Structure 1
Amino acid sequence: MGRLRGPGWLLGALLLLQGACPGTSSHSARYFLTAVSEPDQGLPLFTAMAYLDDQLIGFYDSSWRRIVSPVAWVQKTEKEDPQLWAMHTQMAQHEELFLRRDLATVQNLHNQSGGFHTLQYLSGCELSKKRGRAQFAYDGRDFIAFDKETLTWTAASATAQVTKRNWDANLSQSKLIKFELEETCTGWLRKYLEYGKETLLRKVPPVMKVTRKDSHEGLETLLCRAHGFYPKEIDVTWGKDGEVREGDTFRGVVSPNVDGTYYTWLSIEIDPKERSHYWCHVEHDGLEKPLDLAVEESASVPVWLTAVGIVSGVLAALLLAVVIVVVLKKRAEKAAYGAASTSDPGSDSSARA
C-alpha cells in the first residue's frame, strides 16, 4: 500500500502569494488545492487558489500551468522579480504532481481504481497569533488534519487511520510542518507586506445606514448596516439608554464586497414606542471617533428587500471569483498565443531537422 506524502513544504508552493498578508492578526492567507482523478466537463486535473482574507489574489491550474493574479500589487512583484515568480510557478507545478499522486494513494486506500474522485488540501496562517492549519479532504469529506500543538494527525475516517499512523510516526516531518505554519509562512507575510502596504494597510470608513421594518405582533426590527469598510474588523452594537444590548440582537457575518471592502449588519427587535431610546454604536479604524446613530424615522424597508440585499451581496462576491478566474485564463491563453505567433517561423523546421 502506498504512503501519502506529507505536506511539509506545501506552504512554500505559493510563497509569493503568501506574502499578501499585512502584519496584524486581522489578516490571513488561505490556500485551496484540488486534484481530480479525471477531467470532468472541462475541470482541470489540478487547481490552486490563494486568498488574502476573503479576496482571491492568485490562481493556478494544470491546463496552462502558471500563476496569475488579478491584484495589482501582486502583479507588480512579477514585473520586479520575474525569476522569483518563475520559481514559485515551478513549485506550484511540483505541488500539482505530488497532490495528484496523493490522490491515487487515497484511492487505493479506499479500493477505488476508477471513477471521479477529488483530493483537496487546505492550508493557511495568521501573522501575530501564529495560527496555522493544514488538512486534507477526500471526495468532499474530511480525511485528515494536522494538530500543530501536539504534532499529531487527526483521522476523520477509519481509512485515514493508515495515513495517521504513518505520519504520526514521522516526528521530524511534523516538526517541520509546525515550523512552516508558524515561522516560514509568517516570515513571508512580513516580507511581502511592503509590496502591498498601500492596499493592505489602507483604512476606509464604513458607510452607515440605520433603518427599521415592521416585524410581528406590533413589534418592529431595527437594522444597522455598515458598507464599504476596510480593514475587516468592525464593532457594531445596539444600545438602549446607554446600555449595550447583546442578547437580543441578531448579527450578520462580516462579508466581502467585490471591490475588496466589507459589509455587515446588526438587527434588534423592539417595541416601536421605545424606538427613540435605541442607538447603533460603531467603532472602526477608518473612523476618527466612534459613531452613535439613531433610527431614521422615514427609513422603513420591507423585510423581503433586506433579505434580497444580503443574498445579492453574497452572490455578487461568488460571481466575481468565477469571472476573475475566467478572465485570468483568457489573458494567459492570449499571452501564450501571442508569444507563439511572434516566434521565428524557421525554428520549427530546424528543430525537426
Structure 2
Amino acid sequence: MYLFGPPLLLLLGALCAGTRGAQEGSPHSYRYFYTGVSEPGAGLPDFMAVGYFDEQPILHYDSKRRRAEPRAEWVKGAVDPDFWDRNTQNLQGSQAQFQVNLATLRQRYNQSQTGSHTLQLMYGCELRPDGSTGGFRQHGYDGRDFINYDANTRTWVAPVPQAEITTRKWNADTADLQYYRSYLEGECIEWLRKYLAYGAESLRAREPQVLVSDRPTPDGLTRLSCRAHGFYPRDIAVVWLRNGVAMSGETQSWGIVPSGDGTYQTRATIEIDPSSDARYQCCVEHESLAQDLRVAWEPKSNVLLIVGAVLGALVVLAAVAAGIGLYIRRRGTGYKPTSTGDRASENSSNENVKA
C-alpha cells in the first residue's frame, strides 16, 4: 500500500444525468507533508515541509532557506506574529530528526549507507460533509507505509515487520499517545475551522470556463479536446457525450493541475470519425455549478458555412446602402468628378499658410 494512496482520477460515474440534486457541505482538510531524503540531487533540499488548507499551500519550509514562510496572503491574518518563528524552530528540529531516522531505517531494511532513500510524514485532520471530523498521521519509507496512527484504537500500527520495534516503543509512551490524540481530535480541528473562517473568500467556489476545439489525427480521425480551467475547488468531472450519452470509456482524461492562481485546469479528449453526423458535447460537473454544463462541438465546415453566409449578407447590404447613397447624391447635387489639379492647388495653398 502506498503512503498517500493511489493517484486521484477524474470522476466519470453517473455523470451529466441532468440537474444536480441538493448537496451536502463541502469537505475541508488541514494537512502537512514532510519529506526527508538521504542523498538529494544537486541543489535540492534534503528536507522539505509543506502545509495545506484544502488544496491551497499555506506554509513552506526547506533545508536550504531554513525558515517557515507563508504561501497564502490570507493566512497571515489567521495566525499570531510568533507563529512563523515557532514553526521555524520546530521544523529545524524535524529536519535534524529526519536524517537520524533515515540512518536508522537503512539499518532496519539491511540497506547500505549509500544510495538515496526517502522518509515521509503526512498528518492532519478533516471536516467531512456530514459535520463529522477525523485525524490521521502516517509515516512512509521509500514510497510505502512504515507506521500509522490508528484513530479508532488511538495506537500505532505496523504495516511492515521493520516497523515492529518502533510500534512497541511508541505505544509504550502513553504521554505521546495522549498528545497525538489531543492534537488530532482537538487542536487540529480548531486550526481547520479558524483557517476556514479567514480563507472564506480565497476558498470560494469558482465556476469552470470551458473551451472545445478539434484537430485532425495522422490516421484520419478528428481529436476533440475539452479544456476546463479557472475552477475551484479541485474536484471536477469532465466527459464527452455522443448524442447525449456519456462516452466515459472513450474519454481520455489528462489529470487536474494547478493554474498558478489558486484555481485548477484539466482536459479531456476523444477521437471520432469526422464523417459521423452524431452530436458531440463536452459535459462538466463541478461544485460551483447548479447543473451540469454542456458545450457543443460544431464541425468547422458548418461553422465556416454559417460565418460565410453572414459575411455575404453583410456585403450585399453594404453594397445596396452604398448604391442608394450614391443615387441620392447624384439626384440632389449633380455628379462632379474630382479635379486632380484643384486638389493639388489646395494642398499647395495650405502648405503655404502653415509655413
Alignment TM-score, normalising by the size of structure 1: 0.63
Q: Tell me which amino acid in the other structure corresponds to 1:69.
A: P
1:163 counterpart SS class = helix
Deviations 1:253-290 (A, max 9, x none): 22211222111122334343445422222233445654
Report the counterpart of residue 127 of structure 1 in structure 2. 127
Q: Percent identity?
A: 43
On the 8 A contact 2:75/2:195 being kept in 1, the answer is no
Shift of 1:208: 0.9
- Please, which runs of 5 or more residues in structure 2 have no aligned partner? 1-23, 302-355
DSSP-derived class of the 1:260 partner: coil
- The answer on whether the counterparts of 1:47 and 1:62 sit within 8 Å (CA) in structure 2 is yes
Q: Does the 8 A contact of 1:25 with 1:126 survive in 2?
A: no
Aligned residue in 2 for 1:331: none
Counterpart contact for 1:26–1:233, Cα < 8 Å = no
**2:89 — aligned with what?**
90
Rounded to whole Å, the distance in 2 between the matches of 1:222 and 1:131 is: 42
Q: Which residue of 1 aligns with 2:35?
A: 34
The one-letter code of the counterpart of 2:52 is: Y
Structure 2 residue aligned with 1:195, among 188, 195, 198? 198
- Count residues with an aligned counterpart: 274
1:294 Cα offset (Å):
0.8
Which residue of 2 is the match for residue 220 of structure 1? 222
Alignment of structure 1 residues 275-294 onto 2, 5 Å:
275-287=277-289, 290-294=292-296
User: Which residue in 1 is equivalent to 2:325?
Assistant: none
User: Which residue pairs with 1:67 in the alignment?
Assistant: 68
Pair 47,284 (structure 1): closer, same or farther in 2 beyond 3 Å = closer
* Residue identity matched to 1:86: D
Secondary structure of the residue aligned to 2:74 is: helix
Q: Is the 8 A contact 2:53 2:192 kept in 1?
A: no
Q: Which amino acid aligns with 2:225?
A: L
Contact 2:36 2:98 survives alignment (8 Å)? yes
Matched with 2:266 is 264
Structure 1 match to 2:164: 161
**Superposition deviation, residue 196 in structure 1:** 1.9
Pairing partner for 1:184 from 173, 179, 187: 187
Q: Which residue of 2 aligns with 1:138?
A: 141
Deviations 1:177-227 (A, max 9, x none): 4553354323211112222222112x3322211123335865433322101
Aligned residue identity for 1:121:
L
Q: Is the 8 A contact 1:121 1:134 kept in 2?
A: yes
C-alpha deviation, 1:26, in angstroms = 4.4
| Superimposed CA distance per residue, residues 20-65 of structure 1 (whole angstroms, 9 cap, x where no aligned partner) | xxx9644433322233557874555533222344443321234554
Give, in angstroms, the shift of residue 169 of structure 1.
Answer: 5.6
CA contact (8 A) 2:241 2:247 kept: yes
Q: Determine if the alignment matches structure 1 residue 295 to structure 2 residue 297.
A: yes
Change in 2 beyond 3 A, CA 1:47/1:267? closer
* Structure 1 letter corresponding to 2:202: T
Question: Counterparts of 1:278 and 1:137 in 2: how far apart (Å)?
Answer: 45
Contact preservation (8 Å) 2:228, 2:267:
yes
Q: Which amino acid aligns with 1:194?
A: A
Distance 1:170 1:58 in 2: 30
- Report the Cα distance in structure 2 between the residues aligned to 1:146 and 1:109, rounded to whole angstroms: 20
Query: What code does the residue aligned with 1:32 have?
Result: F
Tell me, yes or no, if the aligned pair for 2:29 and 2:192 is still in contact at 8 Å.
no
Contact 1:122–1:135 (CA under 8 A) maintained in structure 2: yes
C-alpha separation in 1, matches of 2:170 and 2:212: 53
**Do the aligned residues in 2 keep the contact of 1:119 with 1:136 (CA within 8 Å)?**
yes
Cα distance in 2, alignment partners of residues 73 and 162 from structure 1: 43
Quickly say closer, same or farther: Cα 1:179–1:272, change in 2 above 3 A: farther
Instruction: Tell me the distance in 2 between the aligned counterparts of 1:112 and 1:218.
Output: 53
1:307-326 aligned within 5 A: none
More helix by share: 1
Over residues 104-151 of structure 1, what are the superposed CA-to-partner deviations in whole Å (9 max), with x where a residue is unaligned? 443443466844654322224332264544222334554333343455
Give how far 1:82 is off. 0.7
> In structure 2, what is the equivalent of residue 51 of structure 1?
52
Letter of the structure 1 residue corresponding to residue 234 of structure 2: K
